[in-house]
Structure 1
Amino acid sequence: MTKRIRAKHKIDRRLGENIWGRPKSPLNRRESRPGQHGERRSGKLSDFGQQLKAKQKLKGYYGSISERQFRAAYDEASRLKGSTSELLIGLLERRLDALVYRAKFVPTVFAARQFVSHGHVTVNGKRVTIPSYRLRIGDVIEVTEKAKQLALVLEAIKSAERDVPDYVNADHNKMTAALTRIPALSDVPYPVQMEPNLVVEFYSR
Structure 2
Amino acid sequence: MLRTPKNTGLFSISNGKNLSGFWGSPAVVCESPYRRGLKADRKHKQSSTTICAGRKRLVQTSNKPRYSAKFTPKNMATKKGLKIAVEGCCHGELDKIYQTLQQLERSQGVKVDLLICCGDFQATRNFDDLETMSCPPKYRHLRSFYKYYSGEAVAPYPTIFVGGNHEAANYLWELYHGGWVAPNIFFLGYAGVVRFGNLRIGG
Q: TM over 0.5: same fold?
A: no
With the length of structure 1 as denominator, give the TM-score of the two structures.
0.31
**TM-score for the superposition, normalised by structure 2:** 0.31
Q: In proportion to residue count, which structure has more helix?
A: 1
Larger Rg: 1
